[in-house]
Structure 1
Amino acid sequence: MILVSQGPIYMGDYNATLGQAASGYLVNMTKIGCANSKLSVTLSRSTKDIKESCSGNKLTIAQIETEKSAEAALDMVEFDKKMLAYALGGTLSAITGSSVTAEVFPTVAVGDTVSLKYTDVSSLVITDSTGTPVTLTLGTNYTLDSAEHGLVSFVSLGALIQPFKAAYTYAAQGNIVGFNKAAVEKGIVYQGTNSQDGKKYKVIIPRISFGMDGEFNWLSTEETTISLKGQMLYVDKYANDTVYGPFMRVSGGLVT
């Protein structure tokens, strides 16, 4: 066959208790974005040579397989916030919109810019540390460079007493704490179609220990790609299952 294929990819969580054997024990399955450029599997094995002792030449008489492994790799151009959190090895959370009353600034000089703790800010008021606090004037003492980004720059300080303090409101927003997880375990279901002959097939990999592979480019002139790679993990419940096997299943028209 000649294989040139595309198709949707679904991700889920392996759960041997709540999942069902027929569906790879995957629960919470969701479809990821459709702009994917790679879903690959790399197989490898390690061996040990056994040398004979009769000829005097120490020739290889047998080979023992000492280890084998399989990796899965996924490249995504279209992704959601959950996938971004996975790629950054982080945790995604939601921050409820609220207000800040006295966010203390570092000591600043004219020309300095301060990043507020939150983004999407409004009703910003900055005061100094005088006994009776003086309110700084927007456009005279500082500029709000970007309310969406929460960036403030200082243009004139005069006799104002530091540190300055900010009061503002902020909208509900998402937050990713990056690089606080070593890996994210996910299962994959791929519904492929071979464009050469129209045959449809399915690939199920129940357990992959995914981590980011390579760089994530925040500043680019072309689309940014998330690259995930991880070890395919052993599924003991499928150890003796001749349909699934303990690592991966390929079924459908491709192999009919």
Structure 2
Amino acid sequence: MYDKEIKQLEKNKLKKETFWYSETLAASLILFAKKNKKFCRHFRQQIKQINPRILFEVPIKMEENICLLVPEFEKFAYARADWLLNSLVKNNLPGSFYALNMLYSWGKHENFEVPKQIVVGVLALAIPGITLGRFTKRRKMAIIVSKNYDEISNVEMSKYAAQASLGILSKAFDLAGGFLSEIEPEVADWFFMGRELSFYSASNVVVRDIAYEVSRLGAANYLVEAEDFRFLAVTPVLNNFVLESKWKLRNLNI
């Protein structure tokens, strides 16, 4: 039923660039710093403490969907900055050296201009969740299901939710090298503070598109496919406000 649309979607994406997760996390903090001057000063100071003899300037990669990774709340921006710099210096993440040099390059140039279309996206989507306090400060994992979710029993829905969320958690532990102390702060917050889920619905094509775009950013996602039904979980690192707004997802409130 959806094969034709999906094939066209895949054809349109052949030329799209993929990124290391370390790069996109670095870029997300640069975008947050664009809006938050206090964080900007703090982050630049952190970067200056890294040994400059091992670093050199490189292009700062930016992509429109980086907005998906911009922290919703200041406290997570600080926590992510600490975690990311520690991980990059230890070379714990794929692409660590390039990401570290990206941050070094940004730290040297206070007048760095973020591409206009990306700034517009951040201001229009991510910032309301940061400045107006419209959302709980606990992380929630987003689950996006096909519009025909009502054909699935509650038992099956629970099974898919458990499978998908455990898949995300497993990927987070892999990224942390199996060490609980090295897990991403947003994932740790989600895991230890209630493991809340936010359910959304979308067409099969949109669910597939979200999975693709999140994967391009290097972020964890777990897709369950069964005939015409899709069930996608994405890492709680993502900005759910941006996710919901960008794809016009329907919040199921369940």
Which protein has greater RCO, CA pairs closer than 8 Å, 6+ apart? 2
TM-score of the pair, normalised by structure 1: 0.20
Q: Higher strand fraction: Structure 1 or Structure 2?
A: 1
